[in-house]
Amino acid sequence: MITRISIGKSPSAIMLKVKRLLLAPCCLLWLGPALHAQSSVRGPLRPEHTPSFKFQSFSPERWDTSSFAPAGAQQWWQEARLGMFVHFGVASLKGVELGWGRGTHLSPDGGTGPIPDEVYDNLYKDFKLENFDAKEWVNIARSAGAKYIVIVTKHHDGFHMWDTAFSDYKITNSPFDRDYIKELADACHAAGMPIGFYFAQREFYHPQYNPRGNLAGRDHKKYLEYQFNAVRELLTKYGKIDILWLDAAWWGGMFKEEDWDAERLYRLIRECQPQILINNRASIPGDFDTPEQHVGNFQHDRPWESCVTLTSQWSYHPTAGVKSVQQLISLLVQTSTGDGNLLLNVGPMPTGEIQPKEVAALKGVGEWLKKYGVSVYHTRGGPLRNSTWGGTTYRGDTVYVHILRWPGPSLPLAPIDEKIVSARALTGGAVKFEQSAGVITLSMDEKDRDPLDTIIELKLDRPVTKIYEAKAAPSIFDGPGYGEVISGAATFTASSSWPEYDDPSLHPTLFTGKNQDYAFHTMSEKSPWAIIDLGGVKNIKGLRIANRRGDTRARDLEVLVSADKSEWTPVWKAASHAEIWSVPVTQFVAGAYVPGKNARYVKLQLPEGASRPLLLKQVEVFGEQN
């Protein structure tokens, strides 16, 4: 039996009764656009898996019975390092996000979009794509140095960008009246460009969609029948497809594998395309992780790809600014040195053209790759874990050191077993190196350092054979994505001082940790606090907070930030005691929580309640100067 969707038959008028809790930070997780970040972990979560709702844990037994690509299938993709994502659909006519711009969002998603359903669902009648040229899009991707393209075939709005047999709500019933997906697939195949299809399982249009079973008159089994038919059609109609990019992330249990019959779906996909790569956004492990709008942690044992927008949203917006070439290159360096890929997103205009400002930014990346692509393509991240200064990539007996920020006159690196035979700066200038059993030191005159990325090539006496783990436990702050420590010159004030325990001479050690137990100690109060002054407004991305060993009185510590000390924004609250908390400071941007909030002051406080003192051993604030 074939399930078809007819134009004009919008989903049930049953609306979600979403509580108006928009001011509560905990609720923002569920009310915004949600191409949420997601990583899959074999075994229990570790301290670096923060925040925990972005990491889905599987038992080894469950993991080992799941569906994965055959051995070697991922090699080309990991060597590619850079891809181009394309979010395009009827929403571009209104400059809103695909899917999320539609008024009704079906359970378990909440919130409402800005365009009423009856308007959004009829936008296709004006979808003309007058200047669409698939070959030109492929050429733009190539000029950016991208080695693969991922195209949205259907987003949460349910509009099909191909000539499907399973719905009338499709692009061939628009004034464009051509198979957009076929033209792109043909253009990619002709150019030798690998192509991936984005397909959203979660959907707000299909009349049978009902993963939670709480919408009257709907049969989700019929939606699953449609889903299997549509995916099979996509993967058998357009030749070789290299990637299938699904989008219904686990997100702390929001979606479950049974919502999509995920294992059976993945096995069907691999029957249609045996070498295909499938991401992890169906609540099973898949072939690669998908951190969103930020750089993932260093991860050498499982492939990953950060998807990031060129502008402030995924779809076209006429006035959205574009990330600078410097920002894009920094992102590419961070992902490559972390052993991941970067999937850069463009949102074409309603005419079917990619905005000139986006094309210019992409070409800027491509020009840089023409010079220094040898240090990115066909490399692996390592052998040293990336850090706040940058990171390394390697190929055989060659290591490329990417220095985004020099920490001082020289750069000290952890020791490696291999002997360094020679060193040269690909970006120009003379480089000196010293290698001992305890440290590697690289130095260059300041005038020879590249302000964008100083790249030093180290030739070794033999090929790299292992990753050198850091002495300390992995942290979200290990890589350059969270910036550097910006609290070195900070000061603080506290709500009170307990003279018997508080030693003012130890106060500066709050930012160094060079104390035996704690840096300050307030009186026992109902809501004690300490306010850190960074000396100016900075882009705060995270905090590392260390407790006095064994002291649990700060178990519900709260963190707030402010630019002027008059208005405070809550950013985090401890769920339980920990000896060290790693706290991301984020804001919601284009469907994900992204590190970074502009503020001068950081307030650490205990919520009002039983009297108790506040005492902490160390606080490090990470971020960037504005």
Average pLDDT of adjacent 10-residue blocks, the chain of 626 residues = 38 30 28 53 86 88 97 97 98 97 95 96 98 98 98 98 98 98 98 98 97 96 98 98 94 90 98 98 96 90 96 94 94 96 98 98 98 98 93 98 94 96 98 96 97 97 92 73 91 97 97 95 96 97 93 93 96 90 78 80 94 96 89
d(CA 505, CA 52): 37
- The answer to whether the CB of 102 falls within 8 A of the CB of 157 is yes
- The answer to whether the CB of 591 falls within 8 A of the CB of 539 is no
Angle 369-316-17 from CA coordinates, rounded to 5°: 125
Tell me what pLDDT residue 529 has: 97
Taking 3-state DSSP, the helix, strand and coil percentages for the chain, each rounded to the nearest 5, stand at 20, 25, 50
Tell me what pLDDT residue 72 has: 96
State the distance between the two ends of the chain, measured CA to CA, in whole angstroms: 59
d(CA 55, CA 37): 9
Reply yes or no: is the peptide bond before residue 44 cis, omega within 30 of 0.
no
Residue 581, helix vs strand vs coil: strand
Identity of the residue numbered 266: Y
d(CA 224, CA 226): 5
Residue 246, helix vs strand vs coil: strand
- Give every CB contact of residue 300 below 8 A, 6+ residues apart in sequence: 339, 380, 381, 382, 467
Tell me what pLDDT residue 327 has: 92
d(CA 240, CA 274): 10
Q: From residue 529, how far is each of 94, 507, 546, 552, 605 by CA, in Å? A: 46, 14, 15, 16, 4
Q: Token digits for 395?
A: 């190929």
d(CA 509, CA 32): 40
Tell me what pLDDT residue 471 has: 66
Q: What is the CA radius of gyration of the chain?
A: 26
How many other CB atoms are found less than 10 A from the CB of residue 6? 9
Among residues 321, 231, 230, 312, the alpha carbon closest in space to that of 271 is found at 231
Backbone phi, then psi, for 395, in 5-degree steps? -150, 115
User: DSSP string of 13-36?
Assistant: SPPP-----TT-HHHHHHHS----
d(CA 504, CA 168): 73
d(CA 596, CA 586): 5
Strands 586-589 and 454-460 turn out to be unpaired
d(CA 161, CA 182): 9
